[in-house]
Amino acid sequence: RYLVDFGVMIYAPNEGSKNEAILAIENQRKTEELDKYEEECKKAKSICKNIILSTTPSLEGYKISEYLGIESSEVIIGTGVVTDFISSITDLVGGRASGYENSLAKAKQEAFDIVRFKVALLGGNAIVGVKSSYMDIGDNMFGVFIEGTIVKADLITMKYN
C-alpha cells in the first residue's frame, strides 16, 4: 500500500501505518505553514520601525495609493497590588502616581507596537487617522486601545526645473 500526497509516495503496509503516514503529512504541512508564518513575522518586525503613524487623515509629502482597511490593537494590563498601594499613598499626600504612569506608558507602547506589526503584515507602510483611548476596566485593570486606517503611501518626489 502506498499513500500519495502532493507527489510524495509513502509506504503504508497496514491501516495503522496509513494513519501514521497521514498524520506525518499533516504535521509536515503544519510545520511548513508555521515556518512561512514565522518568516512573514520576521519580515514584518524588520519593517515595523519604518511604519508611519499619523493622527491626520493624510500624510504630508506622501500620496496614499491604497487603503488596506481599519485595524486596531487592544492591550489590557493589571497594575498590581504594590503599584496600587504606593499610588494610594501618593493620592493621600499628593504628587504623581509614577507606578500608574509607567504601567500606562508600557501598555500604550505595546498597543502601538501591535498595530505597527499588523500594518506590516498587511503590506502597508503607514496608518492614518490614529486614535488612542483608555478604559478603566476595574479590579486594578485598564485598557489601551489604538485604531486607524492602514494605507500604502508613496513618497511624492518634487521635480525642479
Give every CB contact of residue 139 below 8 A, 6+ residues apart in sequence.
78
Per-residue pLDDT, averaged over 18-23, amounts to 69
Model confidence at 31, in pLDDT bands (50, 70, 90)? confident
Reported as a single tens digit per residue, the pLDDT across 103-143 is 888 889 989 988 998 998 899 999 999 999 988 887 778 88
Q: Which residue has the higher pLDDT, 6 or 123?
A: 123
Model confidence at 46, in pLDDT bands (50, 70, 90)? confident
* pLDDT score, position 2: 43
b (16+ CB within 10 A) / e for 88-125: eeeeeeeeebebbeebbeebbeebbbbbbbbbbbeebb
Give every CB contact of residue 50 below 8 A, 6+ residues apart in sequence.
125
The C-alpha cell at 146 is 489604538
Contact present, 10 and 3 (Cβ < 8 Å): yes
**Dist CA 2 CA 133 (whole Å):** 59
Reported as a single tens digit per residue, the pLDDT across 61-106 is 999 999 999 999 999 887 665 555 555 555 555 556 566 778 888 8
